[in-house]
């Protein structure tokens, strides 16, 4: 869900994606790309918060952390995956453009 959300945001021109695996592998170029971004939004799809932890372990700070589980309500649980992604993308697009 987090990957689909990030891809949809990137396709909508709201941002670009980085590769968490490259960052975990200590890829210097990926770390530099993230550090040079005007804004970094970490989208975590599960309660383990691997994205947040990976960014912190790489020494990246000052990012905004989004927990998808907090954005999804019980009402949305009955929606299809595509509908859930669309709802989250809409919410995040508004949130990111308003700030």
- pLDDT at position 48, please? 95
Do residues 15 and 23 make contact, with C-beta atoms less than 8 angstroms apart? no
Global confidence as pTM: 0.84
pLDDT computed for residue 77 by the predictor: 65
CB 55 within 8 A of CB 42: yes
Q: What percent of the chain has pLDDT over 90?
A: 56
Predicted pLDDT of residue 79 = 82
Of residues 99 and 24, more confidence is placed in 24
pLDDT level of residue 70 (50, 70, 90 thresholds):
confident
């Amino acid at each position: 869900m987090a990957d689909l959300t990030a891809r949809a945001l990137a396709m909508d021109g709201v941002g670009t994606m980085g590769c968490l695996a490259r960052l975990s592998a200590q890829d210097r170029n990926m770390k530099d790309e993230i550090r040079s971004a005007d804004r970094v939004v970490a989208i975590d799809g599960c309660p383990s918060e691997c994205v947040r932890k990976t960014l912190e372990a790489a020494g990246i700070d000052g990012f905004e952390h989004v927990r998808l589980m907090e954005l999804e309500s019980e009402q949305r649980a009955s929606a299809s995956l595509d509908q859930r992604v669309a709802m989250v993308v809409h919410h995040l697009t508004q949130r990111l453009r308003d700030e």
